[in-house]
Amino acid sequence: MPEQAQEKQANVRSEPSRRFCVAPMMDWTTTHYRYLARQLSRNTLLYTEMVTTGALIHGDTARFLRHDPAEYPLALQLGGSNPQELAHCAALAEQYGFDEVNLNVGCPSDRVQNNMIGACLMAYPDKVAEGVRAMINATRLPVTVKHRIGIDGRESWDELCEFIEKVSEAGCRTFIVHARIAVLEGLSPKENRDIPPLKYDWVYRLKARYPHLEIIINGGIKTFDECRQHLEHTDGVMLGREAYHNPWLLAGVDTEFFGQAGPAQSRHEALRAVLPFLQDELDRGVFLSHMSRHLMGLFHGQPGGRQFRRYISENAHKPGSGVEVIEQAMARVPEPENASILPATAPSKTPA
Ligand SMILES: Cc1cc2nc3c(=O)[nH]c(=O)nc-3n(C[C@H](O)[C@H](O)[C@H](O)COP(=O)(O)O)c2cc1C
């Protein structure tokens, strides 16, 4: 077990709040993105990219589960359906120090469908329940499920309720609901994130019908105003693309949703706090360009933001590039004189 995980287990674990979450996103919510996100908000629950049980069991387990303790609270998302394998991987999640283990029942890609992973499992609530039960028996961590409101051919309200009932009877009490169906025949994963219409009212109805369950809403949420509205009907919100493309949004989360000051006073300060981590990663042999692409959104919409991104694009891939590229890029953006540029009171919209 890594030292960091041992240390963490010595402490009392408390269940993370899911009031505000950043969604699992393959190739996007890497350890480097998450490290930046954590400089902006202490309370946001972060999710890893999906890792399949097959990759964890037959591949380089330590590499797939690698993260920095600074990223906590952090949930590991698994893709799989074999109960023994899911149980094994849930135990690994605990061993490695994660705060939650989540099962992906929402991914529509063909590749995963062929392996009975992701959204296709919505057609097999008993199988999901069996997997969830095995995971719960294998770990003390909370086991949660992220799913759609249906899939093509199985998109009725009653079928959604059957899914929730079977999986909650297996012991799952937290459901993260992407408020649109997945069309498994004929739409790409990307199209499946935009084309099927959002039905937020279905998620609200789930919370009303199953008030004892924790229901987190996901899909198309961009502003704090929208979050506040959803929180009137659900227990938490999960943002994906907006949190990635505009990570500064997270700088307002602690104030807005947790009544605490956030850790970063400015974008520059947050980015400076990431540099030592980038240096450690460079020392391990990680390429700068592999990490810097996840920092690109930080100055989104800011004067100088384009120059920041351009400087990184033109220089990060060069052999031997180090953190000085990020420093140089940052120097292209005017730094606010007064570091405290967050509004004193909670912003009503995404912080500019
Ligand atoms: C690039 C990308 C990768 C994604 N990978 C995953 C994944 O690994 N697991 C998962 O459950 N959802 C994945 N999703 C879906 C998101 O978690 C989320 O459900 C979806 O983007 C809708 O939320 P949003 O509108 O706030 O982005 C991915 C989305 C994107 C854009």
Could you report the per-residue pLDDT of 41-75, keeping only the tens digit for each? 999 999 999 999 999 999 999 999 999 999 999 99
Check pLDDT > 80 for residue 3: no
- 220 marked as part of a ligand binding site: yes
Rounded to the nearest angstrom, the distance between the alpha carbon of 255 and the centre of ligand 1 is 25
In the numeric block, the tokens 């902006």 are attached to 40
Rounded to the nearest angstrom, the distance between the alpha carbon of 28 and the centre of ligand 1 is 9
Question: Are residues 73 and 46 in contact, defined by beta-carbon separation less than 8 angstroms?
Answer: yes
Q: What is the pLDDT of residue 337?
A: 72
Q: What is the pLDDT of residue 109?
A: 85
Q: Whose CA is nearest to atom 13 of ligand 1?
A: 25
Q: What is the pLDDT of residue 2?
A: 52
- Write down the CATH superfamily of domain 15-258: Aldolase class I (3.20.20.70)
172 given a catalytic annotation: no
Lowest mean pLDDT across 182-186, 235-239, 275-279, 292-296: 182-186
Check pLDDT > 50 for residue 350: no
Question: For 194-210, what is each residue's pLDDT tens digit?
Answer: 999 999 999 999 999 99
292 CB near ligand 1 (under 6 Å): no
- 218 marked as part of a ligand binding site: yes
Quote the pTM value: 0.93
According to DSSP, residue 151 is labeled B
Check pLDDT > 50 for residue 10: no
Q: What is the mean pLDDT of residues 300-317?
A: 96
Instruction: Evaluate the omega torsion of the peptide bond into residue 343 and state whether it is cis, within 30 degrees of 0.
Output: no
One-letter identity of residue 153 = G
User: Probe ligand 1: pick from 18, 21, 25, 64, max atoms within 8 Å of CB?
Assistant: 25
196 CB near ligand 1 (under 6 Å): no
Distance CA 8, CA 12 (A): 8
Which of 21, 89, 107, 120 is an active site residue?
107
148 CB near ligand 1 (under 6 Å): no
Check pLDDT > 50 for residue 1: no
User: Probe ligand 1: pick from 26, 121, 191, max atoms within 8 Å of CB?
Assistant: 26
Q: What is the mean pLDDT of residues 18-27?
A: 98
The string over 266-285, giving b where at least 16 C-beta atoms fall within 10 Å of a residue's C-beta and e elsewhere, is bbbbbbbbbeebbeebbeee
192 CB near ligand 1 (under 6 Å): no
Q: Whose CA is nearest to atom 14 of ligand 1?
A: 25
Check pLDDT > 50 for residue 12: no
Q: Whose CA is nearest to atom 21 of ligand 1?
A: 240
198 CB near ligand 1 (under 6 Å): no
According to DSSP, residue 37 is labeled H
Q: Which atom of ligand 1 is nearest to the CA of 106?
A: 11
First to last CA, the chain: 42
**Fold matches, 15-258 and 267-331:** no
- 241 marked as part of a ligand binding site: yes
Query: Does domain 267-331 sit in CATH 1.20.120?
Result: yes
Check pLDDT > 80 for residue 246: yes
Q: What is the mean pLDDT of residues 197-225?
A: 98
- 222 marked as part of a ligand binding site: no
Q: Whose CA is nearest to atom 7 of ligand 1?
A: 25
The string over 135-164, giving b where at least 16 C-beta atoms fall within 10 Å of a residue's C-beta and e elsewhere, is bbebbebbbbbbbbbbbbebbeeebbeebb
Q: What is the pLDDT of residue 112?
A: 72
Check pLDDT > 80 for residue 167: yes
Q: What is the mean pLDDT of residues 288-294?
A: 98
Q: Which atom of ligand 1 is nearest to the CA of 77?
A: 9
Banded model confidence at residue 345, pLDDT cuts 50, 70, 90: very low
Query: How confident is the prediction for the chain on average, in pLDDT?
Result: 92
Rounded to the nearest angstrom, the distance between the alpha carbon of 240 and the centre of ligand 1 is 6
Q: What is the pLDDT of residue 13?
A: 62
Distance CA 152, CA 297 (A): 34
Q: What is the pLDDT of residue 344?
A: 36
Per-domain boundaries in the chain: 15-258, 267-331
Banded model confidence at residue 336, pLDDT cuts 50, 70, 90: confident
Banded model confidence at residue 145, pLDDT cuts 50, 70, 90: very high
26 CB near ligand 1 (under 6 Å): yes
